[in-house]
Amino acid sequence: MVLAPASSRYEGRALRAGAAAAVILFVGLYWLNTLALEFAPDALLMLLEAAAVGGLLAWLASRFDPLRRLLIPRWAMQAAVEAAAHATWSEENVSLTRDRNAVLLYVSVLEGAVRLMPDIGMQQKLHEGKLGEIEGALVNADQGDPVELVCEAVRKLGECCKDCFPIQDDDQNELPDRPQIRLP
């Protein structure tokens, strides 16, 4: 199981939002001073003010998760989660277990997304509907404690594995059991 605060840093989105805010503020102040107040504004001062506001907004957009969620399109978040889950699959060598019976549960907090990725051995022995049911319970949960939902999913996966892959005398634990926390 991998828990990620976010699947990507999305740095470009915050910078673009700050730059857009700076340009809009500069143009707005310029027109307000020129048309409404009818005097020649100090363009350098307005440019510095706009840059400061744009920088502040970019900093806020990179630190404040609800604002980040507004700036990042849903498709970009989904693509980042898919890429991060597949990268984790490869980095952790999940597919190299002897019986190909590993399952990766990837949880990304910022995106509010979950990916359940079974290896081929697990897919062959376990009905896909059961995996879909477990993932659906996590994805479609509107209420309840997220920690409890994840623990319940892990428990259900354990029951499935116990039924499909009974313990053998020569079994070895090929992957770590503890959850991992990964930064993007």
The string of pLDDT tens digits covering residues 79-131 is: 999 999 999 988 888 888 877 888 889 999 999 888 988 888 888 887 767 88
Q: Among 47, 71, 95, identify where a domain stops.
A: 71
Residue 4: strand pairing partners: 108
Q: pTM score, two decimals?
A: 0.79
Pair (151, 81) in one structural domain: yes
Pair (79, 150) in one structural domain: yes
**What six digits make up the tokens of 37?**
């107040």
At 102 the three-state DSSP class reads coil
Pair (12, 66) in one structural domain: yes
Pair (80, 142) in one structural domain: yes
Pair (84, 47) in one structural domain: no
Amino acid at 24: I
pLDDT of 78: 94
Q: Among 40, 71, 102, identify where a domain stops.
A: 71
Q: Which of 31-35, 47-51, 71-75, 108-112 has the lowest average pLDDT?
A: 31-35
Pair (82, 54) in one structural domain: no
Question: For the residues 16-23, what does the mean pLDDT come to?
Answer: 91
Pair (57, 84) in one structural domain: no
Pair (134, 169) in one structural domain: yes
Query: What CATH number has the domain bearing residue 142?
Result: 3.10.310.50
Domain count, the chain: 2
Residue 131 covered by a domain:
yes
What distance in Å separates the CA atoms of residue 138 and residue 114, rounded to the nearest whole number? 7
**What six digits make up the tokens of 6?**
């976010």
Pair (30, 95) in one structural domain: no
Q: Among 20, 42, 71, identify where a domain stops.
A: 71
Q: Which of 5-14, 32-41, 113-122, 156-165 has the lowest average pLDDT?
A: 32-41
Pair (87, 148) in one structural domain: yes
Pair (125, 48) in one structural domain: no
Show the domain range for 155. 74-181
Pair (53, 110) in one structural domain: no
**What does each C-alpha distance from 122 to 15, 31, 53, 83, 102 come to in angstroms?**
43, 64, 53, 21, 7
